[in-house]
Amino acid sequence: MGILDGKRILVTGVLTEASFAFHVAKLAQQEGATVVLTGFGRMSLVERISGKLPSRAPVIELDVQNEEHLSTLAERVGEHVDGLDGVVHSVAFAPQSALGGAFLDASYDDVSKAVHVSAYSLKSLTMATLPLMPDGGSVVGMDFDAQVAWPGYDWMGVAKAGLEATSRYLAKYLGERGIRVNLISAGPVKTMAARSIPGFEQFEGVWDKRAPLGWDLGDPEPAARGVVALLSDWFPKTTGEVIHVDGGVHAVGA
Binding-site residue set for substrate:
94
Is there a contact between 15 and 196 (Cβ–Cβ < 8 Å)? no
φ and ψ of 143, to 5 deg: -125, 165
Closest CA to 197 of 147, 151, 249: 151
Residues in the chain: 254
Please say whether the dihedral angle defined by the alpha carbons of residues 189, 147, 110 and 125, taken in this order, is positive or negative. positive
In the annotated binding site for NAD(+), the residues are 13, 63-64, 91, 160, 189-193
Catalytic residue among 7, 26, 113, 160: 160
* 198: Cα within 13 Å, side-chain hemisphere: 13
In the annotated binding site, the residues are 13, 63-64, 91, 94, 160, 189-193
Residue 237 is among the residues annotated as catalytic for this protein: no
Is there a contact between 181 and 139 (Cβ–Cβ < 8 Å)? yes
Residue 153 is among the residues annotated as catalytic for this protein: yes
Give the CA distances from residue 121 to residues 93, 100, 101, 180, 221, in Å, rounded to whole numbers and listed in that order: 11, 23, 25, 17, 24
Catalytic residue among 108, 153, 173, 237: 153
Instruction: Just list the catalytic residues.
Output: 153, 160
